[in-house]
């Protein structure tokens, strides 16, 4: 894999070696159950979990008592949404979310809707993928119990105005959950500054292990209590039962500690390399369209459509560069990305989209090499693209009557 260039950090990250070092003792030597109160093995594990909880809390400006460990952000999203709707059933059943959320949020909401347990308002986004606070405010009802909106989008990196939306939620006394999976460690994220009541995060997006995540649950003003979705021994303040994944939690904690320690350095690194990638590509190719919000965007993410070139064929031409595409052909459903569609960019441009996401271990050489290969391949594919040929002849492709399926 040494020749391969990984530019898909929004999908997952390699573990930081420092994280692995922190985890290793907890598999064989220090294997205790954190719930065992009667011996050294248990106390050791409990202590390690406590330290990790502190690191997670520290990174997002929370108190350690407000961190619930889960198996990952999908579970955190499920717990926040279903747990709120169930807990507040007597108060109301209206939930506000938006169409570009992660499937973990969309499908949790759809599930509750199908069961008749929730009525959901699905907010549209603007052409940059943002929801305005005004739009959120307009959707609220007397029986609204939850607003759930991601901080930053995984595909396009667009950042919602979370602080302003949190303010509205606070004023109206509505709980506010944000899926912060992509945001944490990539942008300043503080639960108090952003007026957030619940926040989901994941280990493997921030150089920690897979299979572990957390849900921040506010304890004061408001005091958020969630109906558990996994029942058992009453772990995690009764909100998430199950023996704690001690090595995973230690890993997540260490990943958060490092993320805080290296925050400024990481930020500068992400931005420099992402901007370099963007500049190299834009300098050499025309008809390149940015998907998302140029300004309100994660520093790691660059999502573009290379007009007249289909995404899967482009990926095929850059086998050593790992990226993802919004093209239908790369998805199981054969539908182009629902996120890109929600921006109204047109299915043709969705088919032509590629997401580049850089990370802590990306190097300048890798960016240069990847940009070179992408540029060559786009040029080659445009040379064999009938659409490019038509565009060069001055034909407006959107006006052509296609013989469609």
Which residue carries 């290296």 as its tokens? 262
Q: Is 85 in the site for another protein (CB under 8 A)?
A: no
Structure tokens given for 254: 């260490």
In the list 37, 220, 223, 403, the residue contacting another protein (rule: CB under 8 A) is: 403
Stretch that binds another protein, among 49-57, 81-89, 127-135, 346-354 (CB under 8 A): 346-354
In the list 37, 220, 223, 405, the residue contacting another protein (rule: CB under 8 A) is: 405
Told to judge if 98 belongs to the known catalytic residues of this protein, a careful annotator would answer no
- Judge contact between 214 and 64, C-beta under 8 A: no
Could you tell me which of 255, 344, 318 has the C-alpha nearest to residue 60? 255
**DSSP state, 217?**
E
In the list 11, 35, 51, 397, the residue contacting another protein (rule: CB under 8 A) is: 397
Q: Is 312 in the site for another protein (CB under 8 A)?
A: yes
Stretch that binds another protein, among 94-102, 171-179, 244-252, 307-315 (CB under 8 A): 307-315
Structure tokens given for 281: 């590509």
Q: Is 268 in the site for another protein (CB under 8 A)?
A: no
- Residue 200 pairs in a beta bridge with 179, 215
One DSSP character per residue, 51-69 reads HHHHHHHHHHT--GGGEEE
**DSSP state, 237?**
G
Q: Is 376 in the site for another protein (CB under 8 A)?
A: no
- Smallest distance, Å, CB 388 to another protein? 8
Q: Is 306 in the site for another protein (CB under 8 A)?
A: no
Size of site (CB under 8 A) for another protein: 29
Query: How many CA atoms lie within 13 Å of 226's alpha carbon, on the beta-carbon side?
Result: 34
- Smallest distance, Å, CB 4 to another protein? 17
Q: Is 316 in the site for another protein (CB under 8 A)?
A: yes
In the list 72, 129, 336, 359, the residue contacting another protein (rule: CB under 8 A) is: 336
Q: Is 399 in the site for another protein (CB under 8 A)?
A: no
Integer Cα distance of 42 and 34 in angstroms: 5
Count Cβ atoms below 10 Å from residue 181 Cβ, excluding itself: 27
- Judge contact between 35 and 202, C-beta under 8 A: no
Q: Which residues are annotated as catalytic?
A: 329
Site of interaction with another protein (CB under 8 A): 308-310, 312-313, 316-317, 327-330, 334, 336, 346-348, 351, 383-389, 397, 402-405
């Amino acid at each position: 894999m040494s020749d391969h260039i990984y530019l898909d950090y929004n999908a997952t990250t390699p573990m930081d070696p420092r994280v692995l070092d922190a985890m290793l003792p907890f598999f064989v030597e220090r294997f205790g159950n954190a719930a065992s109160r009667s011996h050294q093995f248990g106390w050791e594990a409990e202590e390690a979990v406590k330290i990790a909880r502190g690191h997670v809390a520290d990174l997002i400006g929370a108190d350690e008592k407000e961190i619930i460990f889960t198996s990952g952000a999908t579970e955190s999203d499920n717990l926040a949404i279903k747990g709120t709707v169930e807990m507040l059933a007597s108060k109301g059943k209206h939930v506000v979310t938006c169409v570009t959320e992660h499937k973990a949020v969309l499908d949790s909401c759809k599930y509750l809707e199908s069961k008749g347990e929730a009525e959901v308002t699905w907010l549209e986004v603007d052409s940059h993928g943002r929801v305005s606070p005004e739009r959120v405010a307009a959707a609220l009802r007397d029986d609204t119990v939850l607003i759930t909106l991601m901080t930053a989008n995984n595909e396009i990196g667009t950042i919602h105005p979370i602080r302003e939306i949190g303010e509205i939620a606070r004023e109206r006394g509505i709980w506010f959950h944000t899926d912060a999976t992509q945001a944490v460690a990539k942008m300043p994220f503080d639960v108090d500054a952003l007026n957030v009541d619940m926040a989901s995060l994941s280990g493997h997006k921030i150089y920690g292990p897979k299979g572990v995540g957390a849900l921040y649950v506010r304890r004061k003003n408001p005091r958020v209590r969630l109906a558990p979705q996994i029942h058992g021994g009453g772990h995690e303040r009764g909100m998430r039962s199950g023996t704690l994944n001690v090595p995973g939690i230690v890993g997540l904690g260490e990943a958060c500690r490092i993320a805080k320690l290296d925050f400024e350095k990481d930020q500068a690194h992400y931005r420099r390399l992402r901007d370099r990638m963007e500049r190299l590509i834009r300098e050499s190719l025309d008809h390149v369209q940015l998907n998302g919000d140029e300004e309100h965007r994660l520093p790691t993410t660059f999502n573009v459509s290379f007009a007249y070139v289909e995404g899967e064929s482009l990926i095929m031409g850059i086998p050593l560069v790992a990226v993802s595409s919004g093209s239908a052909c790369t998805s199981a459903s054969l539908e182009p990305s629902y996120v890109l569609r929600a921006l109204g960019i047109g299915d043709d441009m969705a088919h032509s989209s590629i997401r580049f996401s850089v990370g802590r271990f990306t190097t300048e050489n890798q960016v240069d090499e990847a940009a070179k290969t992408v540029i060559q391949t786009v040029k080659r594919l445009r040379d064999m693209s009938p659409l490019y040929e038509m565009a060069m002849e001055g034909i407006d492709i959107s006006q052509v009557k296609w013989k469609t399926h």
